[in-house]
Chains A and B, each alone.
Chain A
Amino acid sequence: MTAAREVLGEVLLTNMKYSVRQKFMRVVLTTTLVALALAGVSMLVYELHNFRQTAVDDLMAQAGILGQASAPALAFNDRKAANENLSTLRARPGVVQAAIYSANSRVFASYFRDPAAKGVLPAFPEAEGYRVEGNQLSVFKYVRDPTGFLGTVYVQANYGVLDRLWSYLGILAVVMLISLMVAVLMSYRLQTAVTTPILAMTRVAREVMERRDFSMRVAKTTEDEIGYLVDTFNEMLAEVGKRAHALEQTNLVLQRETEERRMAEAALRAADQRKDEFLATLAHELRNPLAPLSNALEILRRAGKDEGASQIAREMMTRQLRQLVRLVDDLLDVSRITTGKIVLHTETVALNSIIRNAVEMAAPALEARGHQLAVDLPPQPVMLQADPVRLAQVFQNLLNNAAKFTPRGGRVSLGVELDGKVAAVTVSDTGVGIPAPMLGEIFDMFVQVDRSLEREQAGLGVGLTLAKRLIELHGGSIHAYSDGPGQGSRLVVRLPVMEAGVASPS
């Protein structure tokens, strides 16, 4: 029983080889087939039983009538009459042969449908009843009259049950065929209604998995459980899509933050390194003047009254001291920049005078390198609200840089252009230039483009940082331009100027 159920289950449902559609069809077909077969077989059994009963009853009745009619023939030993009675069976072509046996079990009269092919009659009559042999039905019926038992009537007829069986099976087959076709048709329509949305869902699910496109949706075609399933599936898809998107966004943010952190870390490390290098440079710069100073002191001690030597020694010491002062000033500026304690002493001042001061201060460096300086100042006075010392310091720094980073005998030019309320001061040279990646960085603290400069030329790398900070404090801006290494560089300082009317010479 259990095994049978398992086999049935295997065939019908659980076998994963088959699609839902095939399983559906199998269930419907099997159910229909089983139902039809059961109905057909039970009707067949009932019908055959019925048929046999009818045939037996019919033949028994026939034998009874024959017996009744033949009773006097038996009673009065009239074979002729008995034979005549039997010959009435000719009206029934189903009867193959018949006989009347006398009371002493002898054949009294006989009948054969086909006299030529004489069959074999039973030698003796049997007890009242019927007997089925193949397609033949035989009945025996006692003959009685009021005097008692007279004999037995025997009738054998074609059963016809096989013919009946075949025609019945034929009808059954036709009915089954038609029923199956109807079942297949109906189930096909039904299963299409059921499986189409499921197939659509399967397809969408696969595409979603393959393309990671959560915006896909299954079209809803019915309002039943399948429709509800489709709705739920779509909602789930939307939910999954939403979450996947959120996760992606989070990932992106995290990635960006990581990148930023990494860059910040790199920047910090770079700044730290620059600071280390700055310290090394500073120590070196501070140590450099000490040897000449020490030498000059020794010269002074030994020179005694030698005015010439003393003079040289004093000049040497003056120069080295100035260098030291400059370095210490730079250091102070660096600390001011980092602590934001630079204070401007602003006043109304003419740009030209500031530039002239700067040029004067830078002149020794320019001349020392044999550079040619071209200054182009505007004819009209340009007035600024500015700290003249600091601003002069900026321009001097720019000129010093130009002198420093330009090979001997180069050309340095300074020009001023007015554009409305902005004065653009440009310092350009024919020097080593600035590599494009460094254009933005040269204003950072401790950054130096070329560390291979002669030591006496080297600075602390804070000049441009200080300049940028000061210009910004004045509400202006500074930018560097260069066409590349060896192509010279150009630094442009833009400063806001005062209204012409307000301007007055300082």
Chain B
Amino acid sequence: MIDRHAARRLLQLLTVLCPLLLAACPQWASADEDAAALERNVKAAFIYKFAAYVEWPSTAFADAESPIVIGVAGDDAMAAEVARITASRQIGGRPFTVRQVGDADSLNGLHILFVARADSARLGQFVKVLQSRPTLVVTDGDGARAHGSAINFLMVDGRVRFNIANDEAEKRGIKLSSRLLSVAQNVQGAAQ
């Protein structure tokens, strides 16, 4: 117990010291930034690729060439990354549109909503606003599951993995490919 306590204090200390350390040592800061950028890049790519394994109800699109709209809440860098990755790409003949989500009012017409860890506090609000609209909610962080997210990123052995709550997707009329489920770290809710 003493060890755990000591560890927590050490962690707190590190949390406080880290920015200082990063500021003091550009090399360290740079390495940390690289890791964060890599993780963001992978997650952005995943968000883009999820679209290939997701089937929205036909009512979600105006026509066959309507774009897949991705909303990013709470992480402008991520929004930019997703926009960069999806730029000039198509899935099933549909181009992508990426927009930053500021508040619950801008949730209309979203096919994928990514809620960053920094914005997880507003997740409940988003979910409430979305109700049963066909929007795939992707979250980043523990505990998001309880707030109605369908896919939740997590880190396993330094790699980006994700859990799936299939029931949350079904609730919104979204079908997740069984192949997607096969690569999920953990799947909750019956697969169709």
Contacts and interface: CB of A to CB of B under 8 A. Distances in A.
A69 B159 CA distance: 21
Interface of A: 68-69, 71-73, 75-78, 81, 145-147
A452 B49 CA distance: 164
Contacts of B52: 75, 145-147
Contacts of B42: 77
B49 A147 contact: yes
A147 B180 contact: no
B48 interface: yes
Interface of B: 42, 46, 48-49, 51-53, 89, 91-92, 159-162, 177, 179-180, 182-183
Max chain A C-beta neighbours (<10 A), residue from B51, B89, B179, B180: B179
A147 to B, nearest CB: 5
Nearest to A146: B52
Given A75-B183, A78-B183, 12 more contacts: A69-B179, A72-B177, A72-B180, A72-B182, A75-B52, A75-B53, A81-B182, A81-B183, A145-B52, A146-B92, A147-B89, A147-B91
B138 to A, nearest CB: 13
Contact of A75 (B49, B159, B160): B49
Contacts of A145: 49, 52-53
Given A77-B159, A77-B160, A146-B91, A72 B183 contact: yes
A146 B50 CA distance: 10
Contacts of A81: 182-183
Contacts of B162: 76
Nearest to B160: A77
A69 B52 CA distance: 14
A78 B157 CA distance: 12
Nearest to B179: A72
Nearest to B48: A147
Contact of A71 (B46, B48, B179): B179
A108 to B, nearest CB: 13
Max chain A C-beta neighbours (<10 A), residue from B52, B179, B183: B183
Q: What 6 A-B pairs have minimum CB-CB distances, sorted nearest first? A: A146-B52, A78-B183, A72-B179, A146-B91, A72-B183, A75-B49
A80 to B, nearest CB: 9
Contacts of A68: 179
Contacts of A73: 182-183
A76 B92 contact: no
